[in-house]
Structure 1
Amino acid sequence: MSLKRYLPVLQWLPEYRREQAASDLIAAVIVTIMLIPQSLAYALLAGLPAQVGLYASILPLVLYAVFGTSRTLSVGPVAVVALMTAAALAPIAAPGSPEYLAGAVLLAVMSGLMLTAMGGLRLGFLANFLSHPVISGFITASGIVIAFSQLKHILGIDASGHNLIEIAGSLAGNLGNVSLPTLLIGAGALVFLMFARSRLKPLLIHFGCGIRMADILTRTAPVLAVLVTSLVAWVLELDALGVQLVGEVPSGLPELTMPSMEVSVWKQLAVGALLISVVGFVESVSVGQTLAAKRRQRIDPDQELIGLGAANLGAGFSGGMPVTGGFSRSVVNFDAGAQTPAAGAYTAVGIALATLLLTPAIAYLPTATLAATIIVAVATLIDFPALVRTWRYSRADFGAMLATITLTLVYSVEAGIIAGVGLSIGLFLFRTSRPHSAVVGRVPGTEHFRNIQRHRVETSRHVTFLRVDESLYFANARFLEEAVMDLVTCQPDLKDLVLVCPAVNLIDASALESLETINERLSDAGVRLNLSEVKGPVMDRLKNTQLLSRLEGTVFLSTFEAWQTLVSPSEMPVTSVP
């Protein structure tokens, strides 16, 4: 059982059937066609040679099929991770240099080691520290930066920068050097790909094409753009007119590559590798869980860390770049009918064949076409309506989202994601440090208790029921003390205080000390402290402390039991009016 847990391939491979293999092969063909131009494009985005993207789409897919738990996740280079790779490598080497390529290999290996270690330590829960608004804001800002960074290839000019301000300024300063042939190729590819994404499928269906076939043809639009523009570049010899081409790409499978062992380089790339690991894991798990839910399957986040770690180690040792699960490819893989991770392994075979046979044709591919492919792909990442939705629902989350977007755009992707993580944790601590609490009363004629400020309920002058709607830990322990003493001060006739604890899942050492302090202070004031609805695991821990033996009051199974015991039958309850 433990071996199957760490090698999920043993769970599905023994029961692998011919029908599943057929479905996986069809999905692999479709994803391979889609992945070839994407791999080339994302290598370009990362500032790496085109073949690096292909290398990162072979061994990582095979290793994920062995160690991953998602049946349909498609692993490989993705836009956001490619951008983060470029940002991490920029301080240590110039794009295209041997040191830069060695840095990309090291980033993949470091990310793989970090992810594998996190999986071994079962740290999959760390993904929860990045709130959805922060991730959405980071991806939106990254999409904008990526799109602007590719305009230089569409225009055929030199431009540089690591944030939107630098890139926009560099583009504006070089507009006088626009290459018309490059612009025609890039703009033409961009218009075609945008048309294909939004209009081609309905048009094909209108002319009698089946829905499935129309979908497949739409997915192959980037390949068609690559083929047509490469043919035009070859026939018209566009490189002589100043159009930048991908150039000669080494044919053959990747060779074993060893990462740099220089400690100084490891230190320089440590933060970048960690951020790539975290962001890649969050993106991958989000996609994997969404697709798994549609088939009533599940993924194991801890094992996903190991699966992605193995994929990145495979990418690094085979001369590739950092990888993770891609949203668009995974959705295509799912829609194409992939049944098992074997579809990814078949896709790896397809990419390997492309690396062996198609690299001579890739030499004539204009970089403007790849830039157009990237721009159209990242357009789906930009989600401005999310800003409006978040603003309407939560001003605090909107603030974290806006700060993440702003820092990513005007400073760097690292600053944006670090700020996002910090703000996510900060917001959590702020909210839980001032937990919602309410004085509750009995709904007349029932055993239910509700907030006296929202419902018409019965209360007692001698007994107060305070419901705490949060676990108790160091950040809110003092807040509870203050809330309790404020209640006691305002109620001179109070004899019993009942802490209603249905939402308390944890009481840490600091909160325990606060409860002991509350018990002593209430006792000095002539008030008994009681507890109700304490959960089993919390009670188990409290039994190992002095609190229960020193408690002036009682621990009640339910709030209604406390009402029956503490509120005198002769007392006329006071009915509150909200």
Structure 2
Amino acid sequence: MSPIARYFPILQWSKEYNKEALTSDLVAAVIVTIMLIPQSLAYALLAGLPAEMGLYASILPLVAYAIFGTSRALAVGPVAVISLMTAAAVGNLALQGTAEYAAAAIALAFISGLMLTVMGLFRLGFLANFLSHPVIAGFITASGVLIATSQLKHILGVDARGHNLIDLIGSLIAHLPETNLATLAIGTTATAFLFWVRKGLKPALMSLGLKARLADILAKAGPVAAVAATTLVAWGFNLSDAGVRIVGDVPKGLPPFALPSFSADIWSSLFVSALLISIIGFVESVSVAQTLAAKKRQRIVPNQELIGLGTSNIAAAISGGYPVTGGFARSVVNFDAGAETPAAGAFTAIGIALAALLLTPLLFFLPKATLAATIIVAVLSLVDFSILPKTWNYSKVDFMAVAATIFLTLGFGVEVGVSAGVLLSLGLFLYKTSRPHVAEVGLVPGTQHFRNILRHKVETHPSIVTLRIDESLYFANARFLEDYLYDRVVCDEPIKNVVLMCSAVNEIDMSALESLEEINRRLDEMGISLHLSEVKGPVMDRLQRSHFLEDLTGRVYLSQYDAMKALTPKTSPASAA
């Protein structure tokens, strides 16, 4: 693959583009466009931004991803969690008026885009692997609860504020007597309808004789039907005079192209938030992309995905949008609708652009309660508290991390929650690897296999101790190995040889090498020889560049069986269970 094609995946898939792919992509684009219009408006309001910014964030970013992205089905744009994080980040700034707030959100998208692009160019996609999936699942679940709760004010037609669950609920209760009944009727009806659409509309249409594909397309258009119906009701009965809050004037036309703010104060204030949004957005996006790619035996390139998402966010910033990422719901819809290439996203961008040009005047009387219902129905599908019993049964350490992430997100807000999630993920990694599993092993009778003496009936010899290290050795666990080994051999007179079985050791860093040198010296003083077995090639190459092998009191054996044969005295071995 040429260097240019590596950074421009469009040059690869466009060579194979044909009429069949064009037809599939156009059909998928129509379906996703129908779904994306109400979602874009709703998520912009969730971020505290003018509704049209949701449309702007759904045009040029899709084109950028079609050029630089590697997933054939991923659909980028505004998503609920990133919108909530945008609101939290920009809300922390002391800004005056909508224009300054919007400018900060645009700058946030640009900073995030630069971060993601630089990470992709330097091939830093592996950093996302340090975020544990249970912690991310806990964060998304808590965020879903926060988002749904924050939208209840639009369902009730009241003013309520707060960045955490306690503040939101307290504010809602305080304003409950101010509930607007007309707004409540629209909001609850739209919510109930959208919940029914998700599960019941497609079967109902098929029972009337419609084909599955057509029924599916019409079911995906359910939110558009809710938007159209409630807009007509609000217009026909002039509900805005009755206190029903409507979207109002949405500027008609394509997004304005301009550079974002380069204010040092804004950039320094938004830097950490942009980093958190970049990390969460990338993890969510790449997880969806990998899942969908696997279904068609395709593959994505994580480092190039960073560039794809980065350029998408830069495109959002220069076209009046705010941070975007790959959305789970719309990507699945795009995949199910038959999207064959990223061109489906570009066609969707054209559809959104036409909507921005032609349809925005029709949105004037759209009730905000309907958009709130769209958000609530969408985000509740993200809420999955089953992660708590799953992690409790499987790993108490993971459970504590997930529970802490959920509690901190709900209790202290989304930025504290995601920061805690990142730190807990790293902390879990360090904790687990700092205490590696070390097993004393023996020979399974009649074989050349070695297993844990506490789990199997094996043959050992009192003069030989074989320890299998089930982790790479590095600075965080080097001292643990020293202490473990000394505790095992001290005051055990028959021991003459210690063998470290390194079949699971992929890396030995400098700190671990110094620990091995110290172990070798201490054992020598005790009259015990240190041996290694089953050392992997790359690890052996590095050891040979040091003096360790020259000073080693024992030998390095190709296999543990060879070590056992060479070191066992010519007496019958003792059995151990």
Q: What is the CA-CA distance between 1:215 and the residue it aligns to?
A: 1.4
Q: Which residue in the other structure is 1:286 paired with?
A: 287
Q: Which residue in the other structure is 2:321 paired with?
A: 320
1:82-134, Cα deviation, whole Å (9 max, x unpaired): 00000001121459611100001000000000100111111101111111110
Structure 1 position 536 matched with structure 2 position 537: yes
**Equivalent-residue separation in structure 1 for 2:241 and 2:568 (angstroms):** 94
Give the conservation status (yes or no) of the 8 Å contact 1:42–1:374.
yes
Q: What is the CA-CA distance between 1:209 and the residue it aligns to?
A: 2.1
- 1:449-468 correspondence to structure 2 within 5 Å: 449-468=450-469
Q: Which residue in the other structure is 1:574 paired with?
A: 574
Give the conservation status (yes or no) of the 8 Å contact 1:47–1:95.
no
- Superposition TM-score, scaled by structure 2 size: 0.99
- 1:415-434 correspondence to structure 2 within 5 Å: 415-434=416-435
- 1:2-151 correspondence to structure 2 within 5 Å: 2-93=3-94, 97-151=98-152
**Equivalent-residue separation in structure 2 for 1:211 and 1:15 (angstroms):** 29
Identity of aligned residues (%): 63
**Equivalent-residue separation in structure 2 for 1:306 and 1:318 (angstroms):** 18
Q: Which residue in the other structure is 2:412 paired with?
A: 411
1:516-550, Cα deviation, whole Å (9 max, x unpaired): 00111111111110000001110110010000011
Q: Which residue in the other structure is 2:224 paired with?
A: 223
Structure 1 position 475 matched with structure 2 position 476: yes
Instruction: Indicate the SS of the match to 1:174.
Output: helix
**Equivalent-residue separation in structure 1 for 2:94 and 2:18 (angstroms):** 49
Residue identity opposite 1:442 in structure 2:
L
Q: Which residue in the other structure is 1:269 paired with?
A: 270
Instruction: Indicate the SS of the match to 1:498.
Output: strand
Q: What is the CA-CA distance between 1:564 and the residue it aligns to?
A: 1.2
Residue identity opposite 1:235 in structure 2:
G
**Equivalent-residue separation in structure 1 for 2:489 and 2:243 (angstroms):** 82
Q: What is the CA-CA distance between 1:490 and the residue it aligns to?
A: 4.5
Give the conservation status (yes or no) of the 8 Å contact 1:48–1:96.
no
**Equivalent-residue separation in structure 1 for 2:422 and 2:97 (angstroms):** 31
Q: Which segment drifts farther, 8-17 or 198-207? A: 198-207
- 1:490-509 correspondence to structure 2 within 5 Å: 490-509=491-510
Q: What is the CA-CA distance between 1:234 and the residue it aligns to?
A: 1.2
CA 1:95–1:214 in structure 2 vs 1: closer, same or farther (change >3 Å)? Answer: farther
1:407-460, Cα deviation, whole Å (9 max, x unpaired): 110101111011111111111111111110011000011100000000000001
**Equivalent-residue separation in structure 2 for 1:422 and 1:206 (angstroms):** 51
Give the conservation status (yes or no) of the 8 Å contact 1:193–1:373.
yes
Q: What is the CA-CA distance between 1:397 and the residue it aligns to?
A: 0.5
**Equivalent-residue separation in structure 1 for 2:87 and 2:562 (angstroms):** 63
**Equivalent-residue separation in structure 2 for 1:217 and 1:527 (angstroms):** 77
**Equivalent-residue separation in structure 1 for 2:194 and 2:436 (angstroms):** 50
**Equivalent-residue separation in structure 1 for 2:105 and 2:357 (angstroms):** 22
Give the conservation status (yes or no) of the 8 Å contact 1:285–1:301.
yes
Q: What is the CA-CA distance between 1:147 and the residue it aligns to?
A: 0.3
Instruction: Indicate the SS of the match to 2:532.
Output: strand
Q: What is the CA-CA distance between 1:207 and the residue it aligns to?
A: 2.5
**Equivalent-residue separation in structure 1 for 2:113 and 2:88 (angstroms):** 18
1:395-416, Cα deviation, whole Å (9 max, x unpaired): 1101000110011101011110
Structure 1 position 336 matched with structure 2 position 337: yes
Q: Which residue in the other structure is 1:170 paired with?
A: 171
Give the conservation status (yes or no) of the 8 Å contact 1:130–1:421.
yes
Instruction: Indicate the SS of the match to 2:247.
Output: coil
**Equivalent-residue separation in structure 2 for 1:119 and 1:334 (angstroms):** 25
Q: Which residue in the other structure is 2:249 paired with?
A: 248
Instruction: Indicate the SS of the match to 1:203.
Output: helix
Q: What is the CA-CA distance between 1:259 and the residue it aligns to?
A: 1.2
Q: Which residue in the other structure is 1:157 paired with?
A: 158
Instruction: Indicate the SS of the match to 1:176.
Output: helix
Instruction: Indicate the SS of the match to 2:255.
Output: coil
Q: Which residue in the other structure is 1:359 paired with?
A: 360
Residue identity opposite 1:470 in structure 2:
E
**Equivalent-residue separation in structure 2 for 1:256 and 1:432 (angstroms):** 49
Residue identity opposite 1:571 in structure 2:
T
**Equivalent-residue separation in structure 2 for 1:399 and 1:195 (angstroms):** 36
CA 1:181–1:96 in structure 2 vs 1: closer, same or farther (change >3 Å)? Answer: farther
**Equivalent-residue separation in structure 2 for 1:385 and 1:403 (angstroms):** 15
CA 1:90–1:212 in structure 2 vs 1: closer, same or farther (change >3 Å)? Answer: same
**Equivalent-residue separation in structure 2 for 1:366 and 1:193 (angstroms):** 15
Aligned length: 576
Instruction: Indicate the SS of the match to 2:490.
Output: helix
**Equivalent-residue separation in structure 2 for 1:194 and 1:320 (angstroms):** 29
Q: Which segment drifts farther, 123-132 or 25-34? A: 123-132
**Equivalent-residue separation in structure 2 for 1:187 and 1:475 (angstroms):** 54
Q: Which residue in the other structure is 2:202 paired with?
A: 201
Instruction: Indicate the SS of the match to 1:97.
Output: helix
Instruction: Indicate the SS of the match to 2:505.
Output: coil
C-alpha root-mean-square deviation of aligned residues, in Å?
0.9
Q: What is the CA-CA distance between 1:70 and the residue it aligns to?
A: 0.4
Instruction: Indicate the SS of the match to 2:445.
Output: coil
Give the conservation status (yes or no) of the 8 Å contact 1:404–1:417.
yes
CA 1:152–1:94 in structure 2 vs 1: closer, same or farther (change >3 Å)? Answer: farther
**Equivalent-residue separation in structure 2 for 1:427 and 1:113 (angstroms):** 29
Residue identity opposite 1:332 in structure 2:
V
**Equivalent-residue separation in structure 1 for 2:97 and 2:377 (angstroms):** 24
Q: What is the CA-CA distance between 1:390 and the residue it aligns to?
A: 1.1
Residue identity opposite 1:572 in structure 2:
S
Any gaps of 5 or more consecutive residues in structure 2?
Answer: none
Residue identity opposite 2:278 in structure 1:
S
- Superposition TM-score, scaled by structure 1 size: 0.99
**Equivalent-residue separation in structure 2 for 1:92 and 1:496 (angstroms):** 65
Q: What is the CA-CA distance between 1:205 and the residue it aligns to?
A: 2.1
Residue identity opposite 1:67 in structure 2:
F
Residue identity opposite 2:328 in structure 1:
F
Q: Which segment drifts farther, 387-396 or 53-62? A: 387-396
